[in-house]
C-alpha cells in the first residue's frame, strides 16, 4: 500500500473509528471497573472506617472508639499465635515444600515412562477443594478410625488425637499443607525447566562439568526467578489460608492452629464484631500489601 | 537434564534412589485418597480395624444412599449454578475490559489497569465483613448473585491481565483491515477477537471455575439457607450431622471430589496452564 493510499484511508476511517472506540470505552470498561470498585476496593476502605467503631453490623456505626479495636487485636494472644502460625507455614514452605518440589521437578522434567502420570498424580491434591482435603485428613488423623491411629495400634501404642492437642494440631495442619501444595510448586519448576535453554547445560557438560556441577552452577541459577516466584506464592498462600484449617481444627484447640484468616473468622465474622473484625482485616491487608511491594522491589526487580 | 545418561543401568544407585524417592512421595499422595475412596465402601466397624486395605465386604449402600438422596444433587446443582454464573460473568466482563486495554489508547489507560491489578495484592478475606454488609445492603444476601458477583470482582484482576496479554498478540493488521472494511470495534471483538482467543478463554474460564467450585469463605458468609448451599458448605454440615460415622462421610467426600477429578483429567492442559499462569511473566 502506497503512502498516499494509506493517507486517504486514514481520513475515511478516522470518523467512524473514533466513534467506535468511544462506544467501546463507554460500554466495555465500566462493568469491570464498577464490580471491582464495589466489591473489592470500597470494602477495603470501609474496613478502615468501620475499624474505628464498636459495631455489631446493625443500623449505622455510631460508637466511635478510635484506634481501640487495633489495640484490642494486638492485645489478643490468639492474634500473635495466628501470626506465628503463618510464620511457621512460610518456614515449612521454604524449608521442606520448596526443596521437595524442586527435587521432584528435576526428576520428572526428564522423559521416562510414568513421568507424566506421576506429575498428574502429584498435582492432583492442588486441585482438590481445601474443604475436602481438610476432611480427608481429619479422617487420616482421627484417633479412633484414622490411618495414623491404625499405624499406632499395630505397634501396640495408644493412638494419639493429633488434632485435639495444642502440641500437635499445628504440626498436623502443616503436613496437610505440604501434601496439598507441593505439586503446584513442582509444576511451576517443571514449566520453567522445560523452557530452559538446553544448550547452556550441554555447554557446561562439554566443558567437563559433572552432572551435579551443571545442576548447581547452571540449572539452579537459571531457576532463580521461578524460585522467587514460588516463594512469593507460598507466602501469599499462607496469608490467605483458611478453608483447610476449618475442617481440621477450626483454629483450635485453644487457638493453637489459627491462621490470620481463621482468627479473623472466629473472632470477627462469626460473632459479627464488625469493628474488631475490620481492624484484623486492615492489619492483614497492610501485611499483604507491604509484603507484596517489598518483595517485588527487593527480589523481583528484574522481572 | 542431559540425555547422555538416560541409558544407565537400573542398578545405578542414583537411579535406585530416584525410584525409591518417587515411590515414597507417590504413596504419601495416594494413600489418603485411596483410603477415602475405599473407606466409603466399608462399614464403620470394618473401618476401625481395617482403614487401609480393600474392604472385605463391599458396602455399596453407603454410596447408593447418597446418590439417591436429593441432598447430594442439590449441593452439586447449587455449586454448578454459582460457578457457572461466576465463570460466565468473569469471561464477559474481563474480556470486554481486556479488549479495551489491549486495543484502545486513551488517557488514564495504564492507570486504570494498575488500579485493577490492585486486586492481586490481597485476599478477599481481608474485607469480608464490609463486603458482607455491602452485599446485605444491596439485598443480595442469601442469593446466588451475592456469592457470584464478589467472586467475579476478585477474579477480574488476574483474568484481565491474562486476556489482555493474549489480545495484544492478535496482529494489529487484522484490526486495521477490519476497520477499513467497515467493521466496528464491537463487531471485531465479537467475531474476530473472541473466536481467536478460545484457548485463553478456556484457561481463564477453568481457573475461575475451579476457584469458585471449591470456594468456602464467601458462600459461608453470604448464604444462610441450606437449600442454597454449594457443596463445600453442605459437606461441612453433613460432617457435623454424622460426626463420627466416617464411612458415610468418606463416601460423601469421594462423591463430591469426583467431579473435580474427572474435570481435571479431561481438561488437565488448561488447568495446569491456568493455575500456573502467574509464572509466565508478560
Question: Given this model, what pLDDT does residue B3 score?
Answer: 43
Cβ–Cβ below 8 Å for B100 and A28 = yes
B26 interaction partners in chain A (CB closer than 8 Å): 118, 121-122
Burial of A111 (0-12, 13-18, 19+ CB in 10 A): exposed
Distance CA B127, CA A44 (A): 5
Whether the bond between B44 and the residue before it is cis, its omega within 30 degrees of 0, is no
Which of A247, A214, A228 is CA-nearest to residue A303?
A228
Question: Given this model, what pLDDT does residue B36 score?
Answer: 93
Instruction: Indicate which of A11, A139, A185 best probes the interface with B, i.e. most B CBs within 10 Å of its own CB.
Output: A139
Distance CA B33, CA B254 (A): 9
Which of B200, B198, B192 is CA-nearest to residue B175?
B192
Torsional class of A59: left (φ above 0), alpha (ψ -120 to 50), beta (otherwise): left
User: DSSP state, A64?
Assistant: B
Which of A185, A190, A288, A292 is CA-nearest to residue A230?
A185
**Searching chain A, which residue's CA lies closest to the CA of residue B30?**
A121
Contact A127, B209 (CB under 8 A): no
Q: Confidence band (pLDDT; 50, 70, 90) for B272?
A: confident
- Residue B18 CA, chain-centre distance (Å), reads 32
Looking at the DSSP assignment, which residues form a beta bridge with residue A64? Answer: A53
Q: Confidence band (pLDDT; 50, 70, 90) for B221?
A: very high
**Searching chain B, which residue's CA lies closest to the CA of residue A296?**
B121
Enumerate residues 6+ apart whose C-beta is below 8 A from B251: B39, B40, B41, B62, B63, B66
CA angle, A86 as apex, A84 and A88 as ends, to 5°? 70
Contact A233, A295 (CB under 8 A): no
End-to-end distance of chain B based on CA atoms, in angstroms?
27
Task: Extract the C-alpha cell encoding A161.
Answer: 488425637
A35 interaction partners in chain B (CB closer than 8 Å): 93, 149, 152-153, 156
Distance CA A21, CA B125 (A): 37
Would you say how long chain A is, in residues?
A: 303
Contact B94, B154 (CB under 8 A): no
Long-range contacts of B63-72 (CB under 8 A, 24+ apart): B63/B251, B63/B254, B63/B255, B65/B248, B66/B248, B66/B251, B66/B252, B66/B255, B67/B255, B71/B234, B71/B238, B72/B252, B72/B255, B72/B256
Q: CA A169, A173, A174, A178: dihedral to nearest 10 degrees? A: 150
Helices B13-39 and B246-266 cross at an angle (nearest 10°) of: 120
Q: Does A300 touch chain B (CB under 8 A)?
A: no
- Residue B81 CA, chain-centre distance (Å), reads 14
Provide the ipTM. Answer: 0.89
Distance CA A166, CA B205 (A): 41
Cβ–Cβ below 8 Å for A33 and B93 = no
Question: Given this model, what pLDDT does residue A238 score?
Answer: 92
Q: How far is B122 from chain A (nearest CA, A)?
A: 6
Contact A196, A219 (CB under 8 A): yes
Would you say how long chain B is, in residues?
A: 282
Locate all alpha helices (DSSP H) within B121-267, ordered by sequence.
128-137, 144-168, 172-180, 185-188, 194-196, 198-214, 217-222, 231-241, 246-266
**pLDDT of B112 strictly over 50:** yes
**pLDDT of B280 strictly over 60:** no
**pLDDT of B143 strictly over 90:** yes
Contact B277, B207 (CB under 8 A): yes
Distance CA B94, CA B164 (A): 9
> What would the pLDDT profile of B231-270 be if each residue is shown by its tens digit?
999 999 999 888 878 999 999 999 999 988 888 888 887 7
Distance CA A204, CA A197 (A): 12
Q: What is the mean pLDDT of chain B?
A: 88
Q: The whole model's pTM is what? A: 0.88
**pLDDT of B192 strictly over 80:** yes
Which of A10, A139, A34, A45 is CA-nearest to residue B180?
A10
Cβ–Cβ below 8 Å for A32 and B5 = no
Task: Extract the C-alpha cell encoding B16.
Answer: 535406585
Contact A176, A169 (CB under 8 A): no
- Residue B161 CA, chain-centre distance (Å), reads 18
Tell me the three state secondary structure of residue A53: strand
Which of A11, A24, A47, A15 is CA-nearest to residue A285?
A47
**Segment 43-72 of chain B within 8 Å of chain A by CB:** 44, 47-48, 51-52
Q: What is the pLDDT along chain A (303 residues), one digit of tens a residue?
A: 344 444 444 444 444 445 678 888 888 999 999 999 999 999 999 999 998 888 887 778 888 888 888 998 899 899 999 999 999 999 999 999 999 999 999 999 888 888 889 999 999 999 999 999 999 999 999 888 888 888 888 888 788 888 988 889 999 999 999 999 999 999 999 988 988 888 888 888 888 888 888 888 889 998 998 999 899 989 989 999 999 999 999 987 989 999 999 999 998 888 888 899 999 999 999 999 999 888 888 876 654
Pick from A137, A150, A288: which is nearest to B126 by CB? A288
Distance CA A192, CA A199 (A): 15
Task: Extract the C-alpha cell encoding A172.
Answer: 498436623
Q: Confidence band (pLDDT; 50, 70, 90) for B148?
A: very high
Which of A152, A153, A175, A154 is CA-nearest to residue A163?
A175
Rounded to a whole number of angstroms, the CA Rg of chain A reads 26
Amino acid at each position: 500500500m502506497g503512502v498516499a493510499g494509506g493517507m486517504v484511508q486514514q481520513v475515511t476511517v478516522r470518523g467512524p473509528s473514533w466513534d467506535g472506540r468511544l462506544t467501546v470505552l463507554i460500554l466495555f470498561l465500566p462493568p469491570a471497573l464498577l464490580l471491582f470498585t464495589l466489591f473489592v476496593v470500597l470494602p477495603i476502605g470501609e474496613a478502615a472506617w468501620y475499624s474505628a467503631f464498636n459495631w455489631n453490623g446493625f443500623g449505622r456505626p455510631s460508637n466511635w472508639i478510635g484506634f481501640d479495636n487495633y489495640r484490642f487485636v494486638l492485645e489478643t494472644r490468639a492474634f500473635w499465635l495466628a501470626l506465628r502460625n503463618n510464620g511457621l507455614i512460610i518456614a515449612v514452605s521454604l524449608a521442606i515444600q520448596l526443596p521437595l518440589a524442586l527435587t521432584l521437578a528435576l526428576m520428572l522434567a526428564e522423559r521416562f515412562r510414568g513421568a507424566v502420570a506421576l506429575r498428574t498424580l502429584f498435582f492432583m491434591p492442588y486441585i482438590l477443594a481445601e474443604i475436602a482435603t481438610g476432611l480427608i485428613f481429619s479422617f487420616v488423623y482421627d484417633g479412633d478410625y484414622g490411618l495414623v491411629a491404625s499405624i499406632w495400634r499395630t505397634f501396640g501404642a495408644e493412638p494419639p488425637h493429633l488434632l485435639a492437642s495444642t502440641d500437635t494440631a499445628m504440626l498436623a495442619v502443616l503436613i496437610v499443607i505440604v501434601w496439598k501444595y507441593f505439586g503446584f510448586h513442582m509444576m511451576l519448576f517443571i514449566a520453567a525447566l522445560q523452557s530452559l535453554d538446553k544448550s547452556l547445560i550441554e555447554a557446561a557438560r562439554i566443558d567437563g562439568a559433572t552432572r551435579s556441577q551443571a545442576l548447581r552452577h547452571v540449572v539452579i541459577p537459571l531457576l532463580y526467578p521461578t524460585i522467587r516466584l514460588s516463594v512469593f506464592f507460598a507466602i501469599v498462600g499462607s496469608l490467605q489460608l483458611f478453608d483447610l484449617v476449618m475442617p481440621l481444627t477450626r483454629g483450635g484447640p485453644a487457638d493453637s492452629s489459627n491462621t490470620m484468616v481463621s482468627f479473623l473468622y472466629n473472632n470477627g465474622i462469626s460473632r459479627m464484631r464488625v469493628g474488631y473484625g475490620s481492624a484484623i482485616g486492615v492489619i492483614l491487608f497492610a501485611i499483604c500489601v507491604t509484603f507484596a511491594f517489598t518483595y517485588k522491589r527487593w527480589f523481583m526487580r528484574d522481572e | 537434564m542431559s540425555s547422555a545418561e538416560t541409558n544407565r543401568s537400573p542398578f545405578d544407585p542414583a537411579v535406585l534412589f530416584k525410584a525409591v524417592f518417587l515411590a515414597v512421595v507417590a504413596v504419601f499422595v495416594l494413600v489418603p485418597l485411596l483410603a477415602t475412596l475405599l473407606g466409603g465402601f466399608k462399614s464403620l466397624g470394618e473401618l476401625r480395624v481395617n482403614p487401609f486395605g480393600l474392604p472385605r465386604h463391599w458396602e455399596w449402600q453407603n454410596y447408593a444412599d447418597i446418590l439417591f438422596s436429593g441432598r447430594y444433587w442439590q449441593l452439586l446443582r447449587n455449586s454448578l449454578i454459582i460457578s457457572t454464573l461466576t465463570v460466565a460473568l468473569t469471561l464477559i466482563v474481563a474480556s470486554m475490559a481486556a479488549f479495551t486495554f489491549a486495543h484502545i489508547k486513551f488517557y488514564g489507560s495504564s492507570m486504570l489497569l494498575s488500579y485493577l491489578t490492585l486486586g492481586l495484592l490481597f485476599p478477599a478475606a481481608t474485607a469480608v465483613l464490609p463486603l458482607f454488609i455491602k452485599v446485605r445492603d444491596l439485598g443480595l444476601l442469601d442469593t446466588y448473585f451475592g456469592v457470584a458477583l464478589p467472586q467475579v470482582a476478585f477474579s477480574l484482576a488476574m483474568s484481565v491481565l491474562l486476556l489482555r496479554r493474549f489480545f495484544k498478540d492478535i496482529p494489529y493488521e487484522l484490526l486495521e483491515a477490519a476497520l477499513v472494511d467497515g467493521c466496528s470495534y464491537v463487531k471485531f471483538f465479537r467475531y474476530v477477537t473472541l473466536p481467536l482467543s478460545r484457548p485463553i478463554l478456556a484457561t481463564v474460564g477453568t481457573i475461575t471455575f475451579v476457584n469458585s467450585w471449591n470456594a468456602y469463605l464467601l458462600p459461608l458468609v453470604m448464604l444462610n439457607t441450606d437449600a442454597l448451599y454449594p457443596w463445600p458448605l453442605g459437606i461441612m454440615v453433613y460432617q457435623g450431622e454424622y460426626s463420627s460415622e466416617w464411612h458415610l462421610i468418606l463416601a460423601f467426600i469421594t462423591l463430591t471430589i469426583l467431579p473435580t477429578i474427572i474435570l481435571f483429567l479431561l481438561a488437565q492442559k488448561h488447568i495446569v496452564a491456568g493455575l500456573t499462569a502467574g509464572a509466565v511473566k508478560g
